[in-house]
Amino acid sequence: MRFDLKKIIIVGLFAVAMGFFEAIVVVYLRQIYYPEGFSFPLSVLGSKIYGVELIREFSTLVMLVCTGLLAGRTHHEKFGWFLFTFGIWDIIYYAGLKLFLGWPPSWFTWDILFLIPVTWIGPVLAPVICSVTMILLALMVIGFSNKGLTIRFGKLSWILLLSGALLIFVSFIQDYTTLLIREGFFGGSGGFTKQGLETAVLSFIPKKFNWWLFGLGEATILWAIVRIFLQNSRNRMFANEE
């Protein structure tokens, strides 16, 4: 594999700056809503601020996607640069919070990870593991592409990647999805009320993360990465022989 060091440094610097920028925004938010330190149960955001937060998170995704589209040449390479930027950004975000706030106190501290389509929560270690995996996959894709090779994923590898991502996604959202179901948000028999949901959120403290489900998803993705690497290494070897 071969790497364009200049491009990696430039895109990496953008991701680092973006991560620190995101951390600084959260420093302001926590000063307003959690002046004594962030912890569960959560404070309920007003509908206006919640809407602003959704726009901020969506805008962050757009920035990450645009970086991949600008940096990459092929579809796979664009995907790789998106993953690379995402992984660096997320790791630096937590490094920034540690630098500015001394938070999190441990790798197993619970955090709000995302709000779309429902609230994602999990120990800080989980998204950091995801980010490292993203960077690993990204460097593999970029490395093969820079050798002038057309990297192939294959149908099974795509199924493994998407299945693993789905399992991890479920591990992050299952607590709040269960809470919403219990409060009748999806048409349950209890009947949904905004006041009931706010009361439930204000009293909810996560206790146990589903590491088994997360680990299965992570293992499935790593399996896909190994398959992709071996398959494309063989293709490269055969091409050299010809």
Residue 163, beta-bridge partner list = none
C-alpha count within 13 angstroms, C-beta hemisphere, residue 223: 16
Contact partners, residue 72, CB within 8 Å, separation at least 6: 78, 79, 80, 81, 82, 145
Q: Give the DSSP letter string of 125-179.
A: HHHHHHHHHHHHHHHHHHHHHHTT------HHHHHHHHHHHHHHHHHHHHHHHHH
Residue 51, beta-bridge partner list = none
For the packed helices 211-241 and 155-182, what is the interaxial angle rounded to 10 degrees? 160
Residue range 140-182, pLDDT digits in tens: 999 888 766 678 888 999 999 999 999 999 999 999 888 777 7
Residue range 68-81, pLDDT digits in tens: 999 998 888 999 99
Report field, pTM of the whole predicted structure over 0.75: yes
Query: Token pair for residue 147?
Result: 């050798």
Residue range 119-129, pLDDT digits in tens: 899 999 999 99
Contact yes or no for 53/45 (Cβ under 8 A): yes
CA distances from 100 to 27, 108, 124, 183 (A): 8, 19, 16, 36
